[in-house]
Amino acid sequence: RDLAAVDDRVSGCRACPRLVAWREEVAEVKRAAFRDQVYWGRPVTGMGPADARIAVVGLAPAAHGGNRTGRIFTGDRSGDWIFAALWRAGLANQPTSVSRDDGLQVNDVRIVSAVRCAPPDNAPTPAERDTCSPWLARELQLLPRLRVAVVLGGFGWSALLPVLAAAGYALPRPRPRFGHGVEVELAGPGGPLTLLGSYHVSQQNTFTGRLTEPMLDAVLQRAVSLAAG
Ligand code: SF4
């Protein structure tokens, strides 16, 4: 199977009843500013080429962002942050991301989320994370050149580590804890993989200054450097 086939299958997934209900309710009710738009209202797939050496692992689609536009991180403030940063790092062809047909392309990076359906209050449950993790595992298996994973936030970290362990990566004991700037190199079946932790690009971090543009840029520059090395 290739990434396109997995994307096709995941976009029809209905395995989490609470999330299916929420993603579809939001798509029906809409936000006033977007009332003329047709919401996606389905699982949101990853974005980026199969030869990517870098993965960016997020949390879940936003109700009126990815769940509206149908493209990961597209159409909300979090997306504004991450795509501008990817552009500054040379990993995207433009700094903005507004719709599925806006011409945006990313290179050498695959952007994925731990959970593929928008959750209420941006908060999936651990059970929903675990239900969605086979999709994450399949997606990562289909990135043969992967060398670096930039993990945005502790939830993505908690989703990714078990997936990597099951895939044969050697995790230190105790398992490394998430933190901004944390860097962990793992030996794996296809070669080494370095995990880089970053605070999530959510507004509660970017509005408060907990995560600044220079902080995010530094993580992505490190990722680019490791991928090239
Ligand atoms: Fe399926 Fe993942 Fe959506 Fe749950 S969150 S319904 S597992 S795509």
Q: What is the pLDDT of residues 45-78, one digit of tens each?
A: 999 999 999 999 999 999 999 999 999 999 999 9
Q: From ligand 1's centre to the CA of 169, what distance in Å? A: 24
* Residue-range domain boundaries for the chain: 3-228
Contact 119/128 with Cβ under 8 angstroms?
A: yes
Q: From ligand 1's centre to the CA of 117, what distance in Å? A: 6
**What CA–CA distance (Å, rounded) separates 110 from 96?**
17
pLDDT category of residue 190 using cuts at 50, 70 and 90: confident
Contact 193/185 with Cβ under 8 angstroms?
A: yes
Is the pLDDT at 227 greater than 80? The verdict is yes
Looking at residue 221, its pLDDT comes to 98
* pLDDT (average), residues 144-164: 98
Ligand 1 atom with least separation from CA of 60: 5
Is residue 119 lining ligand 1, measured as CB closer than 6 Å? no
**Complex-level ipTM:** 0.99
**CATH class name, domain 3-228:** alpha beta
**Probe residue for ligand 1, chosen from 18, 42, 115, 133 as the CB with the greatest number of ligand atoms within 8 Å:** 115
For residue 193, the cross-strand partners are 186
Ligand 1 atom with least separation from CA of 124: 5
**What CA–CA distance (Å, rounded) separates 164 from 56?**
14
Is residue 59 lining ligand 1, measured as CB closer than 6 Å? no
Rounded to the nearest integer, the mean pLDDT of the chain is: 97
**Probe residue for ligand 1, chosen from 8, 14, 116 as the CB with the greatest number of ligand atoms within 8 Å:** 116
Is residue 19 lining ligand 1, measured as CB closer than 6 Å? yes
Is residue 137 lining ligand 1, measured as CB closer than 6 Å? no
